[in-house]
Amino acid sequence: QTRLGYIVVLILSFSIFPFLAFSFLPGLLYLEKKPRVVPPLTAPKIPEGEKVDFDDIQKKRQNKDLIELQALIDSHFEARKKEEEEILALKERIEKRRAERAEQQRIRAEKEKERQARLAEEKARREEEDAKRRAEDDMKKKKALSSMGATYSSYLAKADQKRGKKQTARELKKKVLAERRKPLNIDHLSEDKLREKAKEMWDWLYQLETEKYEYLEKIKRQKYDILSLRCRVEALSKFSKKAGAKGKVGGRWK
């Protein structure tokens, strides 16, 4: 060990302080020259008067090893048995939960089926009530129409007559418009002819607008005259009522 320490110190000295490494060389040489002392080996003493039975010792050791091995085997099987019991209990819980879920789904499906049946019955009942109410309303209408009799027939005749008059006026209007509308055939006209046609249409449109304006002004004047005459009539009627009330007392004129 001393030699090994010197070698370590020498290596460190060379790496850190090379000039100090030479101071350790004499000590290292001294250790090399010093003889190595080997301690003597002595056999173990056996107690006197006692005989050692190595077979018995070996047998006891084997028995101890067997006991330890058996304990390990027993603990392994106990742990395995416990794990199997836990797995079995877990499977039972899973099956129980699955059965509970299936029962819940069955109950939910039955409730939904009952709800749908209830809705269908209610819908059929409402439809039946609506049909019955419509039938009653139709019956009441038929009775009312039959009770009207000739009055209703005359009313229908008058309505048809009015409808016929309206239709006749509408047809007359269509006829007049068709007569006023002239077909515009300008495909074969040249540019000058088109200009003349456009000027002619413009003059016609100007004439129509002038006539329209004159008619509107005439209508306004007529409305004004009617309103003025109505005001005069009302004023005269009020004046005549007041004059009659002043000149007549107790049914006699003053």
Please name the residue that has the structure tokens 């418009």.
Answer: 177
Residue 175 above 80 pLDDT? no
CA angle, corner 29, sides to 27 and 34, nearest 5? 95
Contacts of 9 (CB under 8 A, 6+ apart): 24
Tell me how far the alpha carbon of residue 55 is from its chain's centroid: 88
Number of structural domains (the chain) is: 2
Looking at the domain assignment, is residue 166 inside a domain?
Answer: no
- More confident: 22 or 224: 224
Looking at the domain assignment, is residue 116 inside a domain?
Answer: no
Looking at the domain assignment, is residue 6 inside a domain?
Answer: yes
| Token pair listed for 27 | 């000590």
Looking at the domain assignment, is residue 188 inside a domain?
Answer: no
**Residues 24 and 12: beta-carbon distance below 8 Å:** no
Looking at the domain assignment, is residue 213 inside a domain?
Answer: yes
Q: Sorting pLDDT into bands at 50, 70 and 90, what band is 31?
A: very low
Query: Tens digits of per-residue pLDDT, 195-251?
Result: 888 888 888 888 888 988 998 999 999 999 999 888 888 888 877 766 655 555 444
Residue 12 above 70 pLDDT? no
Query: Tens digits of per-residue pLDDT, 80-99?
Result: 889 999 999 999 999 999 99
Residue 166 above 60 pLDDT? no
Please name the residue that has the structure tokens 């027939």.
Answer: 153
Q: What is the DSSP letter of 52?
A: -
- pLDDT, position 156: 55
| Token pair listed for 138 | 């139709």
To the question of pTM greater than 0.75 for the whole model, the response is no
Contacts of 194 (CB under 8 A, 6+ apart): 186
- pLDDT, position 198: 84
- pLDDT, position 94: 92
- Domain residues for the domain of 210 are 197-239
Q: Please give the Cα distance from 123 to 115 (Å, whole number).
A: 12
Looking at the domain assignment, is residue 5 inside a domain?
Answer: yes
Please name the residue that has the structure tokens 């068709």.
Answer: 178
Looking at the domain assignment, is residue 218 inside a domain?
Answer: yes
Residue 60, SS3 per DSSP: helix
**Beta strand extents in 36-78 (DSSP E only):** none
Long-range contacts of 178-187 (CB under 8 A, 24+ apart): none
Residue 49, SS3 per DSSP: coil
Looking at the domain assignment, is residue 23 inside a domain?
Answer: yes
Give backbone dihedrals phi and psi of 210, rounded to 5 degrees, phi first. -65, -45
- pLDDT, position 33: 47
- pLDDT, position 244: 58
Conformation bin of residue 245: beta by default, left when phi > 0, alpha when psi is -120 to 50: alpha
